[in-house]
Amino acid sequence: MDIYLVGGAVRDELLNYPFKDRDYVVVGATVEEMLQQGFTPVGKDFPVFIHPKTKAEYALARTERKSGVGYKGFEIFASPEVTLEQDLQRRDLTINAMAKTEQGLVDPYGGQADLKAKVLRHVSEHFEEDPLRVLRVARFAARYAQLGFMVAPETMDLMCKMSKSGELEALVAERVWQEIERALEERSPDVFFDVLRQCGALKVFLPELDALFGVPQPEQHHPEIDTGVHTMMVLKQAASLSDSTVVRFAALTHDLGKGLTEPEYWPSHHGHEKKGLRALKELGSRLRVPNEFMDLAEKVMEFHTHCHRALELKPSTLLSLLESLGAFRQTEKMERFLLACEADSKGRLGYEERDYPQARWIKQAFGAANMVTSREFVEQGLIGKDISEAIKKQRIEVIAQLKKKEGE
């Protein structure tokens, strides 16, 4: 029985990139031998075990082939006869197909050389047997973009072939969303969507987003002009402002309505805020996006232009905005909304470093309005609807007074 550290831990250790999980491959062992040593089996589709003390994952060396049955559409073959090289060959990228022991590095497919060259290259022709790998390569590109990594031309060609084949459409929604959510966690999430667009996969997975590229906006407000380019700039800004994938998703989808504008009205996009809500709901339903993501995305889509004009809004309109955001029930929702809107404002050519005073003003107005509670009105003898109307009136007056004071 030989045990090897494999995959991401080996890759990231060589890159001096932070990592947590350690996965191991066991060569020359049987299920019975693993059980005898106290390992706990997990899953029913292939032999993976949890170490009794470290809780790390240990998998028996295995090969697999596409079959349409079994785990994720593959038949798994694990036996003591499977070699380490055979196990590594089934992996997606060369940088993920390395193993390590106390004796040193095992690198049969040139992963270390590709790490040095900063190249994401597929291991073998078996890459195209799993369409999920298109998403995974794009995600690794997003993770290591700041280190200068690029997708190898031959791998990009293979991904283009897979996108055209129609096989990507066979992926179940949960798996697609899982990769998208993971990509939104990466350092450069915009690169994920850029790579998908390069290989033609973006229009398969996110046609609503793909439709934004080539759609012009008014140059005086958007010097970058192209809506798709703007969206990627907004996502990049969101990634610098917040680690929240919920905020980043809202930034990504905020302008979907512009992809629905009839070309004869370009570059104007009147009413895109509400027009995009249907497209967003279709996207969310198709990919089974969690409610937390959808709730903020809908709010940002519908009200981001209100936020940009916050300094001009009437106190009553500003209060309505705060109420629509649910700010008085859960302040975090307002905070996330403001981050996404700030990303939208800064996600324009030449606006990247500009201040966003609208967020400060909305927070000030909320702070003042939130001081108004039902207590004083209950003490006055008001009940039911009269209390809520009195609170609203008082909050409008407080915001108006604050606005007057700020203007002096």
pLDDT band at 200 (very low <50, low <70, confident <90, very high): very high
Q: What is the mean pLDDT of the chain?
A: 93
Mean pLDDT is lowest, of 23-37, 104-118, 193-207, 237-251, for 23-37
Q: How far apart (Å, rounded) are the C-alpha atoms in residues 87 and 62?
A: 5
Q: What pLDDT is attached to residue 260? A: 97
- In the chain, the percentage of residues whose pLDDT exceeds 90 is 79
The pairing of strands 150-151 and 119-120 is parallel
Q: What pLDDT is attached to residue 376? A: 82
In a shared domain, residues 389 and 300: no
Query: What pTM did the predictor assign?
Result: 0.91
In a shared domain, residues 181 and 273: no
Positions of E strands within 310-389: none
What DSSP assignment string belongs to 30-55? -HHHHHHTTPEEE-SSS-EEE-TTT-
**Res 31 pLDDT > 90:** no
The total domain count for the chain is 4
Q: Mean pLDDT throughout 350-358?
A: 97
Residue 366: CB atoms within 10 Å: 23
Domain presence at residue 89:
yes
Span 162-171, pLDDT tens digits:
999 999 998 9
Q: Which helix (H) or strand (E) holds 27?
A: strand 23-27
Domain presence at residue 123:
no
Domain presence at residue 186:
yes
Give Cβ neighbours of residue 138 (< 8 Å, ≥ 6 apart): 183, 191, 192, 193, 195, 196, 201
The pairing of strands 99-101 and 74-78 is unpaired
Q: Is 387 exposed, middle or buried (0-12, 13-18, 19+ CB in 10 A)?
A: middle
**Res 70 pLDDT > 50:** no
In a shared domain, residues 215 and 302: yes
Domain presence at residue 118:
no
Last residue of a domain, one of 199, 222, 240: 199
pLDDT band at 126 (very low <50, low <70, confident <90, very high): confident
Give Cβ neighbours of residue 398 (< 8 Å, ≥ 6 apart): 368, 369, 371, 372
In a shared domain, residues 91 and 182: no
In a shared domain, residues 181 and 254: no
Q: Which helix (H) or strand (E) holds 23?
A: strand 23-27
**Res 182 pLDDT > 90:** yes
Give Cβ neighbours of residue 239 (< 8 Å, ≥ 6 apart): 187, 188, 189, 190, 248
Q: What pLDDT is attached to residue 406? A: 80
Q: How far apart (Å, rounded) are the C-alpha atoms in residues 313 and 310?
A: 5
**Res 74 pLDDT > 70:** no
Last residue of a domain, one of 110, 139, 174: 110
The side-by-side arrangement of strands in the sheet containing 2-6 is 40-42, 48-50, 57-60, 23-27, 2-6, 99-101, 104-106
Q: What six digits make up the tokens of 107?
A: 């690198």
Tell me the CATH number at 313.
1.10.3210
In a shared domain, residues 220 and 354: yes
**Res 127 pLDDT > 90:** yes
Span 304-351, pLDDT tens digits:
999 999 999 999 999 999 999 999 999 999 999 999 999 999 999 999
